[in-house]
């Protein structure tokens, strides 16, 4: 009898221990499931929050384009605003005044709702029209882009063959029959002007590094790749070929005949002017080409045929930002008769 009681007691203890283990496992599994559900919910909330902010940022970026149109409209009367006029205290006044003077707007930040709009409005003729470049213009552009000189002849010949109307290749150039038709994915030459600067990547010899900057591999295995700054920021496919000196960057100005870094810096410094002790900035943009030459002594007269001081086509870049999430809208617009016409549009993260 005592032996039976001992066996029963041992069995009972074992059962209780097993039950306890089962309970612990169940609690552990439940905790794991709850943790998993919580983690999934957290991830879904983060994803939902990101896409909500992304949508808001997109609408902010598109609102920036509307803001650019407003600034262009206001620029038509900005120069007629007199001292002490209440409009001088409006947020748009200084920006519209810059546009009225032919100057670019870069890095304008405007808070709106829970985010911000960062806006650039730059006259598109602040760049060189790639379709109107002559051989010496190409050489200066490639020089500013730090492309090795031994590559210039091949690149220029290939570009001229791409845009001319015949099918006869130049020396070191390329046409459909002798080059493009033999590629792994063949295509034909344009035999006409470029529609976008990015089209240069279709032309023999032009690479992303040459266009946007980066490393160029050399044929010499003993030579390190060459880092170049690229030429994409110098070029456009819009305008009559003349550079707006009120908006052009130093690099673009250095593509003009005999304009070095010193001359380019002087042109920019003179047009931007100085701010007096009262915080008022003088109107120092160039009124016309004669004004440019009067204020920049020693400037090569050959530059006269390359430059202008106004423009009706603009590159507008609007970045909407909401809690660190960004969306960018980039477009080329024409503004005339109080109306903005979009010529090219691109959206990107």
Q: Is residue 178 part of a domain?
A: yes
**Among all chains, which residue has been given the structure tokens 């920006």?**
95
pLDDT at 122: 94
Residue 217 pLDDT exceeds 90: no
Q: Is residue 136 part of a domain?
A: no
Q: Which comes out higher in pLDDT, residue 26 or 186?
A: 186
Q: What is the pTM of this model?
A: 0.81
pLDDT at 73: 93
pLDDT at 272: 85
pLDDT at 281: 58
Q: Is residue 204 part of a domain?
A: yes
Q: Provide the domain count of the chain.
A: 1
pLDDT at 77: 85
Alpha helices, H only, the chain: 2-78, 93-100, 135-144, 152-163, 208-212, 250-253, 261-272, 289-295
pLDDT at 80: 80
Q: What are the residues whose beta carbons fall under 8 Å from the beta carbon of 142, sequence distance 6 or more?
A: 149, 151, 152, 155, 156, 231
Q: How confident is the model at residue 41 (pLDDT cuts 50, 70, 90)?
A: low
pLDDT at 40: 62
% of residues, the chain, pLDDT over 70: 89
Q: Which comes out higher in pLDDT, residue 80 or 171?
A: 171
Q: Which of 57-71, 116-130, 219-233 has the lowest mean pLDDT?
A: 219-233
pLDDT at 16: 58
Residue closest to 122 by CA, chosen among 246, 274, 267, 275: 246
Average pLDDT, integer, range 170-198? 94
Own/partner pairs, 160-169, CB within 8 angstroms, 24+ separation: 160/135, 161/189, 162/189, 162/190, 162/191, 162/202, 162/203, 162/204, 163/131, 163/190, 163/191, 163/192, 163/193, 163/194, 164/191, 165/191, 165/192, 166/191, 167/191
Q: How confident is the model at residue 86 (pLDDT cuts 50, 70, 90)?
A: confident
Q: How confident is the model at residue 7 (pLDDT cuts 50, 70, 90)?
A: very low
Average pLDDT, integer, range 264-285? 77
Q: How confident is the model at residue 258 (pLDDT cuts 50, 70, 90)?
A: very high
Convert the pLDDT of each residue in 286-310 to its tens digit. Answer: 999 999 999 999 999 999 999 999 8
Q: How confident is the model at residue 87 (pLDDT cuts 50, 70, 90)?
A: confident
Residue 2 pLDDT exceeds 60: no
CATH at residue 198: 1.10.40.60
Q: Is residue 207 part of a domain?
A: yes
Mean residue pLDDT across the chain: 88
Q: Is residue 206 part of a domain?
A: yes
Give residue 199's domain range: 146-230
Q: Is residue 92 part of a domain?
A: no
Q: Is residue 126 part of a domain?
A: no
Q: Is residue 222 part of a domain?
A: yes
């Amino acid at each position: 009898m005592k032996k039976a009681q001992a066996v029963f007691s041992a069995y009972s203890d074992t059962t209780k221990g097993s039950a306890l283990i089962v309970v612990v496992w169940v609690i552990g599994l439940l905790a794991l499931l709850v943790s998993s559900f919580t983690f999934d919910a957290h991830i879904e909330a983060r994803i939902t929050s990101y896409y909500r902010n992304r949508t808001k940022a997109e609408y902010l970026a598109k609102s920036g384009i509307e803001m650019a149109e407003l600034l262009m409209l206001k620029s038509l009367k900005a120069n007629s605003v007199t001292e002490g006029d209440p409009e001088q205290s409006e947020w748009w006044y200084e920006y519209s005044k810059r546009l009225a003077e032919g100057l670019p707007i870069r890095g304008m930040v405007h808070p709106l709702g829970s985010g911000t709009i960062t806006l650039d409005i730059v006259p598109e003729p602040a760049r060189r029209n790639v379709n109107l470049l002559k051989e010496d213009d190409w050489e200066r552009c490639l020089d500013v882009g730090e492309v090795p000189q031994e590559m210039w002849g091949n690149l220029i010949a290939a570009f001229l063959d791409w845009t001319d109307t015949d099918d006869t290749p130049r020396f070191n150039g390329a046409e459909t029959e002798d080059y493009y038709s033999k590629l792994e994915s063949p295509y034909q030459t344009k035999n006409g002007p470029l529609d976008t600067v990015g089209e240069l990547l279709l032309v023999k010899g032009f690479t992303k590094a040459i266009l946007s900057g980066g490393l160029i591999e050399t044929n010499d295995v003993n030579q390190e790749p060459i880092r170049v700054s690229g030429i994409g920021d110098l070029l456009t496919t819009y305008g009559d070929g003349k550079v707006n000196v009120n908006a052009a960057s130093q690099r673009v100005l250095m593509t003009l005949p005999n304009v070095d870094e010193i001359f380019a810096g002087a042109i920019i410094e003179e047009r931007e002017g100085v701010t007096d002790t009262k915080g008022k900035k003088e109107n120092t943009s160039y009124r016309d080409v004669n004004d440019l030459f009067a204020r920049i002594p020693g400037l090569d007269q050959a530059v006269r045929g390359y430059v202008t001081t106004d423009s009706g086509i603009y590159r507008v870049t609007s970045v909407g930002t909401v809690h660190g999430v960004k969306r960018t809208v980039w477009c080329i617009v024409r503004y005339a008769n109080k109306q903005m016409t979009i010529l090219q549009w691109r959206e990107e993260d």
